[in-house]
Amino acid sequence: MSSARVLVGTRKGAFVLTSDGKRKKWDVSGPHFAGWEIYHVAASRADPDRLYASQSSGWFGQVIQRSNDGGKTWAPVGNKFTYDGVPGTHQWYDGTAHPWEFKRVWHLEPSLNDPDTVYAGVEDAALFRSADGGQNWEELSGLRKHGSGPRWQPGAGGMCLHTIILDPVNPNRMYIAISAAGAFRTDDGGKSWLPINQGLKSQYIPDPNAEVGHCVHKIAMHPSRPDVLFMQKHWDVMRSDNAGDLWHEVSGNLPTDFGFVVDVHAHEPETVYVLPIKSDSEHYPPDGKLRVYRSRSGGNEWEALTKGLPQENCYVNVLRDAMAVDSLDTCGVYFGTTGGQVYASSDAGDSWEAIVRDLPAVLSVEVQTLS
Partner 1 sequence: MIRVVLPHHLRTLAQVGGEVQLQVEGDATPRAVLDALEARYPVLRGTIRDQVTHQRRAFLRFFACQEDLSHESVDEVLPSAVASGEEPLMIVGAIAGG
- Helix (H) / strand (E) element for 8: namely strand 3-10
Q: Which of 22, 24, 29, 57 binds partner 1 (CB under 8 A)?
A: 57
User: Using an 8 Å Cβ cutoff, are 19 and 4 in contact?
Assistant: yes
Q: How far is the CB of 220 from partner 1 (least distance, A)?
A: 32
State the amino acid at position 337 in one-letter form. Answer: T
Does 35 participate in binding partner 1 (rule CB under 8 A)?
A: yes
Tell me which of 25, 27, 59, 207 binds partner 1, using CB under 8 A.
59
Cβ 267 to partner 1 shortest distance, Å = 41
CA distance to 86, 89, 213, 303, per residue, from 204 (Å): 30, 21, 9, 29
Nearer to partner 1, 103 or 289 (CB): 103
Tell the smallest beta-carbon distance from residue 83 to partner 1 (Å): 9
CB of 61 to partner 1, least distance (A): 5
Measured from the CB atom, the residue of 106 and 184 that comes closer to partner 1 is 106
Q: Is 269 within 8 Å of 256 (Cβ atoms)?
A: no
Q: To 10 degrees, the CA torsion angle through 216, 252, 221, 342? A: 80
Strands 118-123 and 126-130: antiparallel
Counting contacts by CB under 8 A, is residue 358 touching partner 1? Answer: no
Residue 86 touches partner 1, criterion: CB under 8 A = no
Nearer to partner 1, 64 or 219 (CB): 64
Q: Does 150 bind partner 1 (CB under 8 A)?
A: no
- Minimum separation from the CB atom of position 59 to partner 1 (A): 4
Q: Are 7 and 346 in contact (CB under 8 A)?
A: no
| Count of residues in contact with partner 1, rule CB under 8 A | 13
Provide the sign of the torsion angle of the four alpha carbons 171, 172, 177, 178, taken in this order. Answer: positive
Residue 85 engages partner 1 in binding (rule: CB under 8 A): no
Q: For partner 1, which is the closer residue by CB, 82 or 209?
A: 82
Least spacing, CB of residue 88 vs partner 1, in Å: 16
In the complex, the smallest distance separating the C-beta of residue 64 from partner 1, rounded to whole angstroms, is 10
Segment lying near partner 1 (by CB under 8 A), choices 13-21, 59-67, 120-128, 256-264? 59-67
Question: b vs e for 334-357, b when ≥16 Cβ sit within 10 Å of the residue's Cβ?
Answer: bbbbbbbbbbbbbebbeebbbbbe
Q: Of 109, 65, 102, which is closest to residue 82 (Cα–Cα)?
A: 102
| Helix, strand, coil percentages for the chain (3-state, nearest 5) | 0, 40, 55
Q: Which is nearer to partner 1, 71 or 349 (CB)?
A: 71
The residue (of 56 and 163) whose beta carbon lies closer to partner 1 is 56
- Any contact of residue 147 with partner 1 (CB under 8 A)? no
Binding segment for partner 1 (CB under 8 A), chosen from 55-63, 149-157, 223-231, 258-266, is 55-63
Q: CA 35, CA 136: separation in Å to the nearest integer?
A: 25
Q: Does 36 bind partner 1 (CB under 8 A)?
A: yes
* Position among 29, 82, 136, 203 found at the interface with partner 1 (CB under 8 A): 82
Closest Cα to residue 28, out of 47, 13, 39?
13
* Neighbouring C-beta atoms of residue 58, cutoff 10 Å: 8
The residues in 100-129 that bind partner 1, with binding defined as CB under 8 A, are: none
Contact between residue 126 and residue 88 where contact means Cβ atoms under 8 Å apart: no
- Residue span binding partner 1 (CB under 8 A) among the ranges 56-64, 155-163, 296-304, 334-342: 56-64
Give CA–CA dist 77/68, Å, rounded. Answer: 12
What x-and-dash track marks residues 61-80 binding partner 1 by CB under 8 A?
xxx------------x--xx
The sign one gets for the Cα dihedral 364, 361, 318, 267 is positive
Q: Which is nearer to partner 1, 76 or 208 (CB)?
A: 76
- Taking the complex as a whole, the smallest distance from the CB of residue 105 to partner 1 amounts, in Å, to 12
List residues binding partner 1 (CB under 8 A): 35-36, 57-63, 76, 79-80, 82
